[in-house]
């Protein structure tokens, strides 16, 4: 078997990666594996490995998570080895946390980080949460008024589909009117 990285030497290092139940087998020669390994270690920690910028020891789990995050960026240029995440536009404008810092800490700095890092977050969340990227649970009563209403409408629409399939058209009509009413409510700014 030939190394899939350099396509020259014999592959002697084999590993299996499982992401979202998809199995991927990777076969590398020793040289390429070492290169990848070094880069992995860099993205795992670099300076301050094992401690956060405040000098506190980080949990092994957060190290693992930052490993995942660092690896996340490096996966795309598969052929060119692994680049450490670069500073730049990837910075939360609210708290100032940069993406590399987030990758190192394994934790975000404020609520707005979720917006700023959204493009990077989805693949990560999928890995952590068994493929899911959207919340389906509790919605806070006060701050989530509008969101709650949208969710209710979503549920009613679902119910409406069922009623139509069951040919219960009278009940479907009632549901349709209720949905319309609620949508108008949102348009008028209710529940915000």
Partner 1 sequence: MSIQDFVRDASRWMQDDGPHSDIVISTRIRIARNLVDHPFPLLADDAQSEEVLEKVRTAIETDEFQEKGHGHFEFLTLRDVSDVDRQALVEKYLISPSLVEHARRGAVALRDDEEVSIMVNEEDHLRLQVLMPGLQLQESWKLATEVDDLLESKLNYAFHERYGFLTACPTNVGTGIRASVMLHLPALVVTQQINRVLSALNQVGLVVRGVYGEGTEAVGNLFQLSNQITLGQSEEEIISNLDSVARKIIEHEQAARHFLLNENREVIEDKIARSFGILAYARRLDSKETMQRLSDVRLGIDLDVIKGVSKNILKELMVMTQPGFLQKYHGAELAPGERDWRRAELVRERLQMDKGHI
Task: Using CB under 8 A, list all residues that contact partner 1.
Answer: 52, 54, 56, 59-62, 65, 94-95, 97, 105-111, 114-115, 121, 124-125, 128-144, 147, 150
Contact 186, 146 (CB under 8 A): yes
CB of 78 to partner 1, least distance (A): 24
CB of 53 to partner 1, least distance (A): 9
The Cα-based distances of 92 to 83, 89, 153 in angstroms read 21, 9, 33
Q: Distance between CA 8 and CA 188 in Å, rounded?
A: 66
Closest C-alpha to 68, from 33, 40, 97, 28: 40
Give the residue with the Cβ less far from partner 1, 80 or 142: 142
CB of 105 to partner 1, least distance (A): 7
Q: Where are the beta strands (DSSP E) in the chain?
A: 13-19, 22-28
SS3 36: helix
SS3 104: helix
Give the residue with the Cβ less far from partner 1, 1 or 134: 134
CB of 179 to partner 1, least distance (A): 19
Give the residue with the Cβ less far from partner 1, 167 or 189: 189
CB of 21 to partner 1, least distance (A): 10
Q: Distance between CA 177 and CA 163 in Å, rounded?
A: 14
Give the residue with the Cβ less far from partner 1, 3 or 105: 105
Q: Distance between CA 98 and CA 89 in Å, rounded?
A: 8
Give the residue with the Cβ less far from partner 1, 77 or 96: 96
Q: What are the φ and ψ backbone dihedral angles of 108, each rounded to 5 degrees?
A: -90, 165
Give the residue with the Cβ less far from partner 1, 41 or 108: 108
């Amino acid at each position: 078997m030939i190394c899939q990285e350099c396509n020259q030497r014999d592959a002697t290092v084999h590993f299996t990666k499982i992401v979202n139940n998809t199995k991927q087998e990777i076969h590398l020669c020793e040289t390429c594996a070492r290169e990848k390994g070094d880069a992995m270690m860099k993205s795992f920690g670099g300076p301050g490995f094992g401690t956060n910028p405040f000098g506190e020891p980080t949990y092994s789990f957060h190290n693992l998570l930052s490993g995942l995050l660092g690896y996340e960026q490096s996966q795309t240029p598969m052929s060119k080895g692994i680049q450490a995440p670069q500073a730049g536009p990837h910075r939360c404008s609210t708290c100032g946390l940069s993406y590399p810092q987030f990758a190192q800490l394994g934790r975000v700095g404020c609520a707005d980080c979720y917006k700023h890092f959204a493009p990077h977050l989805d693949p990560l969340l999928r890995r952590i949460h068994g493929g899911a990227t959207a919340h389906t649970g509790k919605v806070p009563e006060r701050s989530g008024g509008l969101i709650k209403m949208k969710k209710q409408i979503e549920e009613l629409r679902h119910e409406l589909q069922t009623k139509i399939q069951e040919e219960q058209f009278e009940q479907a009509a009632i549901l349709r009117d209720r949905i319309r009413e609620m949508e108008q409510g949102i348009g008028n700014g209710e529940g915000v």
